[in-house]
Amino acid sequence: MSDQLDELSILIRSRIPLVQVETLEETRIIKFLEGASAREGWDFFTWTAADGLRKFPQTEALPGTDAFRDALHCINDTLASGVFAMFDVQPHLQDSVSQRLVKEIALGYGAKPRTLAFVGPSVELPPDLARLSARFSPELPNLERIREIYLEEAYRWLSEKQGRKLINPPDTEDLLLQHLAGMTEEDVHRLSLNAIRHGRISLEEVRRVLEFKRQTLGKSGLIEFYADSSSFQDVGGLDGLKAWLELRRTAFVGDDKMQGVDPPKGMLLLGVQGAGKSLAAKAVAGSWHVPLIRLDFGALYNKFLGESERNLREALKQAEAMAPCVLWIDEIEKALASDASGAGDGGVSRRLLATVLTWMAERTAKVFLVATANDVTQLPPELLRKGRLDEIFFLDLPNAASRRDILRIHLEKRKLDPAQFDVAQLAASSAGFSGAEIEQALVAAIYAAHAGNDPPNTLHLLSELHRTRPLSVIMAEKITALRLWASGRTVSAG
């Protein structure tokens, strides 16, 4: 709290007349503003449409200040100095008279030093007022503060329920605390107390916290949550990728006990269409037992200047609030164009790229980025450099051993016994097929078997494989070019 109080005090001391405070924690920001006012020896006032303008902590409002415009008249005409926290003012700022009064208060700061702090979940000022303002966003509690709140609630629970002992497996407790990251202090208090109400923390309580975060943060539609991710048991082959991720799992999901080891930042999965890039992205989250979030750039675009970039910043902020998590951007080359391909959209894709690059370089939250791409030539080179991504993996068409694994996985998924199929022959006959094409051949074979009132067998599947022309045949030139580019530039995922 001390650092944020210092930051707010500096803003007030810097003679900035207007402060935009974007937060949902009204009680907490009142404490901040009251403390900053006390440091300067100024009076502190609050205004709401329900209570009017009052000197904090008095409960009686100044007469005739219920309306926003009247409160501004009172501040401008009768009050010499002070900090004024004004809540939910966005609708009132549409009034031209109110805008003029705010400007007069701001421009008169030299004679009467008054700071108006506009507080709300989203605060936007007209351009002529915005140039006189500064933004302040209180940081969400860090892991240390979350642990303090959790222990405070745990001991309170113990004192109220004497005779019962709080028993928590350390791993589950650490997981709960990590998933409370990104929540407001009020929510951390409430969710901590709710999690220990039965005397122990279970994985079900952890899931409830994740569901609360999903419902709270996902309402904007900018990001999509996947509650049930796959695991690498559902992915055939990719042994190199699996080993790479296993080495980094503890550094990402642990509690920062690995001194000197930076948590992994992310990777790019490049490969042939249908080779399992999307499935692998989902499997990373499932294997690490963290939420999977998909960023859909199509939902970010807005016709108004600057709104697309704002939406992206908000989406990345929401992802950080879910940390630790995996952020998945599918077909990233379609969203972040290179100089040549991004000239036709008015520069929006270039500005989005700049926002992503800055975030990738500066983020501190445990958000592991998994980007997938089919056409690497469309990607800007600055996105690919080390430091922003840890590694680039190439997912080629599966080899014979991987095809056997894929066949077994999909047969078992459909309640079919792999022992009843000649998996070795099927793997040999499916050379050049991607994992997705093998799955679709199996689906078609099951339809054919049911049409003949027969149980699916090897012959049904062989027939479909022989009938299918895989992408490696249809698009042979492009796949060859992709393999040539990847050779020596990427790490094999197999």
Q: What is the DSSP string of 29-61?
A: HHHHHHHHHHHHT--EEEEETTTEEEETT--SP
pLDDT of residue 7: 85
Q: Which two tokens stand for residue 314?
A: 């908000």
What architecture (CATH level 2) is domain 2-136? 3-Layer(aba) Sandwich (3.40)
Full-model pTM? 0.66
Query: How many other CB atoms sit within 10 Å of the CB of residue 112?
Result: 14
Low-confidence ranges of the chain (pLDDT < 50): 303, 340-342
End-to-end CA distance of the chain: 48
Q: Which two tokens stand for residue 360?
A: 């990738």
pLDDT of residue 208: 80
232-395 folds as: Rossmann fold (3.40.50)
Point out which residues pair with 368 in neighbouring strands: 326
- Dihedral angle at the C-alpha atoms of 454, 455, 459, 464, nearest 10 degrees? 90
Distance, in Å, from the CA atom of 367 to the CA atom of 221, rounded to the nearest integer, reads 19
The string of pLDDT tens digits covering residues 287-336 is 887 888 888 777 676 545 567 777 888 788 878 877 788 999 888 887 77
Q: Which two tokens stand for residue 121?
A: 């979940």
Domain range annotation of the chain: 2-136, 143-218, 232-395, 400-474
Residues 261/251, Cβ–Cβ less than 8 Å: yes
Which of these, 486, 276, 327, lies nearest to 392 by C-alpha position? Answer: 486
- H helices then E strands: how many in the chain? 20, 13
Equal fold, 2-136 vs 232-395:
yes
Distance, in Å, from the CA atom of 275 to the CA atom of 472, rounded to the nearest integer, reads 11
Report residue 292 CA to chain centroid gap: 9
Residue 324: cis peptide before it, omega within 30 degrees of 0: yes
Q: Which CATH class is domain 400-474?
A: mainly alpha
List of long-range contacts for 161-167, beta carbons under 8 Å, 24+ apart: 161/199, 164/199, 165/199, 166/196, 166/199, 166/200, 167/199, 167/200
